[in-house]
Structure 1
Amino acid sequence: MAPLRTWLPVLGLWLLQAGQAHARAQGYTGAEHPFKQEPEWDPFFTFGHHHPISHDGQKIDHFEVIGHPEILSDRVILTPPHPGNQRSAIWSDHSNHNEQWEFHVPFRASGPERAGGSLQIWYTYRGSSATGTSSIYTAKPFEGLAIVIDSQGGRGQIRGYLNDGSTDYSIHHHPQSLAFGQCEAAYRNLGRPSDLKISYTHDHGLRVELDDHICFETNKIKLPSNYRWGVSAASAENPDSFELFGLKLALHKEWEDHHFDNDHQVNEGFHAEKEQQIKNREKKGEKQKKEDHHEEEIQKRHKEAADHHARMADSKYRDFKSQYEFKDEDAGHFKDHDSQFSDLHLRMQALTHQVAEVQRVTGEISYNVGNMLDTMNEFFGHRDGGDGGQFEHTLKDVERRLHNVDQTVQNLERSLRHEGDKINLLNEHHDNLHHKVKEAVIAHGPNLGFSVSLVIVVQVMLAIAYIVYKRRRSMSPKKYL
């Protein structure tokens, strides 16, 4: 019994270490759960996992930045807190080849009590070329999925939209009614980032979660691959500030979480070392294959991104080229009236679709020009003959202030000129003071000869008076006692 008691702690420690080694070999890490598996992030649709997000503060690898968001080292401010009415977006420049995935959008929204704005997560066919910085309320027809986060009636909401390219949300009177799923969510002014998770698998469909709480889910939709990811934000005049802390696309193979009980892990610990040795030998051969495959995948995606930019530069609507184009046919090709009518019908139908496309594009151009004119009229002056717009008021205010400054400068100039005249007069007075004193002394002072004569006369008179006084005293009678 003594040897058994001695070896029991050692055996238990060995089993624990073997179980942990097996868990690490299977890729299960994390402090929350000893066997929680770290997701495998797709680097072509992920940023913010490592800092800084951008090396130059302007570009993000594998993503297209539209608008003027503020790109910091750890987050992207899509709509700043001031001024309002801002729009910006970030779109992937690669198509998503993963058929099952888990997309994470860590974001934070903050603003005053009555602020407004919306955050859209897009998974669409044409990507930025069709949607750009649009919100769900201004979006033209798109093909794919849109998840919208905004506030309605003072309550935060998350809604999901699907479009096959036939619905124009920008002209719909009530886009909220077109959502296939929605829930109320508190996301504003939390003081921390919120994690929006969008998951999709073939077996369980689509699930949308906020901070690990299910918002809505459905298994009645199918999302194809080769679509592009994007995030856009728009703010109102009293703006909400939307901050994006990154995007993360996990290769999600199964919907359920992986849970293993401790007894199962302990039993597997006995075979951990043996299995690890076999896996090490297998991994040596697979490592090179994975590296080659990874290099081929990188080259393929880079080529796809280059082709995408070239296609967008060549023609924005090349992917939607009309399918009703017909080649010219000789008149002798049509032998009967039915073939002639059929060809005429198809060509008229094609012409109708082309005219409709022209009308749609013209309407889009008219809408954009109208928005531009409204913005210009609002800024430069109202069309209804009012007292002017913001720009005119600003110019008048600037003109009034410049007039006041001009008057102040003129008054200051006159004051300085008057003070200068006084200073010159004082300088001239001080310069001539000693000359004027000398002249005054010469002009108004007594004559030197007269003064000398006056002194002599006074002395003579005093001498005469003294002599008379002495003579009278000597001639006066004397009195004797």
Structure 2
Amino acid sequence: MALLRSLLPALALWLLQAGQAQARAQGYAGAEHPFHKDPVWDPAFSFGQEHPISPDGSSIPHFDVVNHPEILSDRIILTPPQPGNQRAAIWSQHSNQHENWEVHVPFRASGPERAGGSLHIWYTYRGGSTTGTSTIYTAKPFEGFALVIDSHGGKGTIRGFLNDGTTDYSIHHHPQSLAFGQCDAAYRNLGRPSDLQIIYRANRGLKVLLDNHLCFETDKVNLPKLYRFGISAASAENPDSFEVFGFKLAVEEGHSNTDNRAPHHVEAEKEREKQKTEERRSGREALEHHANMVADAHNAMHKEFKSQYEYKDEDVKSFKNTESQFSDLHMRMQALTHQIAEVQRVTGEISYTMNHIVEMINGMQGESEYHHGLSLKNLDNRLHSIDQVVQNLERSIRHEGRKIDELKDHHENMPNHLKDAITTHGPRMGFSVSLLIVFQVMLVIAYIVYKRRRSLAPKKYL
């Protein structure tokens, strides 16, 4: 018995670890969080979760490859170490259907001492057809979100940009000032891949992390569905080499596009939006129905839990030897471990369900406010644009009016100018008459002289 008592703590610890390992094998990490599951990658928006990345060495399923990056079995070299001034991009062929998503991009950047390149993560409406291999400094007006990783002032930075399709970053004198969030980041020449994470939750905002360290976050960003993901890189004359080891989109379990349907069908999306609108109108009934379903499910799980893990009491007299005592202790400890794991799972489900209900309530309450605010924002933008047009027109009219007044004054004063010019610079009448008389007198004198010399000349006779 003394030996059994000394072994009880070690046995209990071993059984508890075995129960946690079984819970983790079922998809739960109880030591980390009672309802934390591994990410579920959507294969229609991901590559790099399996190797080789390309089945033929030149294409990537569900993605368009722009220019000629080097596609290896486990990575894609967007910009090589040599030569410089290279560009390449990879764009999703499908539009995103998920409201909540999480992007993981493991990448590595290497190059000379002075940085010469940039890496971009895009989420835009028109995708590669508008942006292609452009950078944020050369891109034409796009509609969506862009995350830029580059170096400025000798320091590595990560910046987030938003555009509603009206701002042309390529002609802006200082596009870095348009970033809504940024942080310093050491990402070059680390000798290992860096893990970039972009987490978006509807009605909660956007969060950017590098190697599990928060870069920046905001709850003022609203990114709609039906946009397309992309990743591009550009190098300078002294190039940075950007290698991408994958692009993985994590979604909620049960919402991945495993059937590889074309999610960019607009008609299907409109139908889904219509259905969601009808569901929001009947939100109270949906909540009651959902609560009843959760209660029924919990009751059923409780019955199953009770019948499977509840261990009945035994009389101490029924144990005749230490082997039966050890066997009974082992069974009870194992049942206790299963009960703890089950409690963790049920607690996690309750927490998830409550969060989901709270999100539904917040969504229904904020929907009308959001649309109202959106319409006011659009109206304010239109009024601002009209005001700018009117101001430009007023300046043009003022400028043209000054020109018209100058021309009018010039034409009105033209006769006076001509009179002054003729009077001042034209020949005088008296001078002209005097000159004419002198010329005629000279002609008369010349004629008289000619006649006299003619008459005085000797005459010749034949």
State the TM-score, normalizing by the size of structure 2.
0.53
Alignment of 1:316-395 (within 5 A): none
* Paired position in structure 2 for 1:47: 47
CA distance, structure 2, for counterparts of residue 10 and residue 212 of structure 1:
35
Partner of 1:69: 69
Superposed displacement of residue 10, structure 1: 9.3
Structure 1 residue 210 corresponds to structure 2 residue 172: no
Partner residue of 2:133?
A: 133
Deviation at 1:11, TM superposition (A): 6.8
- Residue 93 and residue 26 in structure 1: after superposition, are their counterparts in 2 closer, same or farther (change >3 A)? same
Q: CA offsets, 1:47-72, max 9 Å, x none? A: 11111111211001111100110001
Match of residue 168 from structure 1: 168
Q: 1:69 to 1:32 in 2, by over 3 A?
A: farther
Query: Aligned partner of 1:61: which letter?
Result: P
Q: Please give the alpha-carbon distance, in whole angstroms, between the structure 2 residues aligned to 1:203 and 1:293.
A: 19
Give the superposed CA RMSD: 3.1
- Map Cα deviations across residues 34-58 of structure 1 (whole Å, 9 max, x no partner): 9863211111111111111112110
Partners of 1:157 and 1:7 lie apart in 2 by 56
2:108–2:244 Cα contact (<8 Å) kept? yes
Cα distance between partner residues in 1 of 2:256 and 2:136: 36
Q: Deviations over 1:384-424 (max 9, x none)?
A: xxxxxxxxxxxxxxxxxxxxxxxxxxxxxxxxxxxxxxxxx
**How far apart are 1:227 and its partner, in Å?**
0.9
3-state secondary structure, aligned to 2:128: helix
Instruction: Measure, in 2, the Cα distance between the counterparts of 1:130 and 1:158.
Output: 23
Q: Quote the offset at 1:197 in angstroms.
A: 0.7
Give the partner amino acid of 1:154.
Answer: G
Paired residues, number: 267
**Which residue of 1 is the match for residue 261 of structure 2?**
299
Distance of 1:100 and 1:10 partners within structure 2: 44
Q: 1:164 to 1:14 in 2, by over 3 A?
A: same
Q: Could you report, residue by residue, the CA deviation over 1:138-160 in whole angstroms, capped at 9, with x for unpaired residues?
A: 10111110000111111111110
Tell me the equivalent position of 2:146: 146
Whether the 8 Å CA contact 1:102–1:252 is kept in 2: the answer is no
How many Å apart are 1:21 and its aligned residue?
A: 5.5
Maintained 8 Å contact 1:23/1:35: no
Q: Distance in 1 between matches of 2:85 and 2:191?
A: 23
Matches for 1:179-328 after TM superposition, within 5 Å: 179-251=179-251, 297-301=259-263
> For 2:20, what is the secondary structure of its paired residue?
helix
Change (3 A) 1:190 1:58: same
Asked which structure has the greater RCO (Cα within 8 Å, sep 6+), the reply is 2
Q: Secondary structure at the match of 1:298?
A: coil
Q: Which residue of structure 2 aligns with residue 23 of structure 1? A: 23
* Preserved CA contact (<8 Å) 1:30 1:37: no
TM-score norm. by structure 1 comes to 0.51
| Aligned residue type for 1:37 | K
Unaligned runs of 5+ in 1: 254-291, 305-481
Listed one character per residue, the Cα deviations across residues 151-170 of structure 1 (whole Å, up to 9, x for unaligned) are 11111111100000000111
Distance 2:213 2:196 in 1: 9
SS of aligned partner of 2:19: helix
| 2:178 matches 1:178 | yes
Q: 1:116 to 1:252 in 2, by over 3 A?
A: farther
Q: Which runs of 5+ in 2 are unaligned?
A: 267-462
Shift of 1:9: 6.4
Question: Structure 1 7/212 Cα, relative in aligned 2: closer, same or farther at 3 Å?
Answer: closer
Output the amino acid matched with 2:51. H
Matched residue, 2:110 = 110
Distance in 2 separating the partners of 1:111 and 1:98: 36
Matching residue of 1:82: 82
Q: Distance in 2 between matches of 1:10 and 1:187?
A: 45
Give the Cα–Cα distance (whole angstroms) in 2 for the partners of residues 26 and 178 of structure 1: 46
Q: Which letter does structure 2 place at the counterpart of 1:94?
A: H
CA 135–30 in structure 1, closer or farther in 2 if over 3 Å, else same? farther
Counterparts of 1:32 and 1:215, CA distance in 2: 23
C-alpha distance in 1 between matches for 2:207 and 2:238: 32
SS in 1 for 2:41: coil
Deviation at 1:28, TM superposition (A): 2.6
How big is each residue's C-alpha offset from its partner over 1:339-368, in whole Å with a ceiling of 9 and x where there is no partner? xxxxxxxxxxxxxxxxxxxxxxxxxxxxxx
Distance in 2, Cα, partners of 1:214 & 1:296: 31
Task: Return the alpha-carbon distance in structure 1 between the equivalents of residues 237 and 30 of structure 2.
Answer: 43
Q: Give 3-state SS (helix, strand or coil) of 2:238's partner.
A: coil
Provide closer, same or farther for how the CA distance between residues 93 and 295 of structure 1 changes in structure 2, counting only shifts above 3 A: closer
Residue equivalent to 1:452: none
C-alpha separation between the residues in 2 aligned to 1:136 and 1:148? 7
Amino acid at match of 2:87: R
Cα distance in structure 2, aligned partners of 1:216 and 1:296: 32
Which structure: larger Rg? Answer: 1
Deviation at 1:106, TM superposition (A): 0.8
* 1:94-105 superposed matches below 5 A: 94-105=94-105
Residues 103 and 250, structure 1, Cα contact 8 Å, conserved in 2: yes
Whether the aligned pair in 2 keeps the contact of 1:30 and 1:38 (CA below 8 Å) is: no
Amino acid at match of 1:163: N
Q: For residues 154 and 295 of structure 1, what CA distance do their matches in structure 2 show?
A: 42
